[in-house]
Amino acid sequence: MVPMSKRVQTLFEHYFAINDHWPVEIRRVQKIIKHIANRAKISEEVTPHILRHTFATLALQKGISLAFVQKILGHDRLMTTAIYLNFTDAHVMEEYSAKW
């Protein structure tokens, strides 16, 4: 199961209606991401793993439960997912203010 926006889902529905495999190999995905990062003039390294890490961190910062993120990432152990709980002081204060 891969959660995605309705817009992205619509794009993939047509492809998977006639195909049963992912259209892009891992090396090609890496090259596409590198190309997009270069065009965006991002000086830091950008990889599929970094995007996955960024997604997990942002999802947790937005309040998505750790168990839900664990399921999305396909982790067997909750402790594996817990490494993404690296909130900044600003996030801690914002969460505290919102709840208290």
Q: Are 65 and 93 in contact (CB under 8 A)?
A: no
- Tens digit of pLDDT per residue, the chain (100 long)? 677 889 988 888 888 888 888 778 889 989 999 999 999 999 999 999 999 999 998 898 888 999 999 999 999 999 888 888 877 788 778 878 988 8
Q: Would you state the pLDDT for residue 85?
A: 82
**Reported pTM:** 0.69
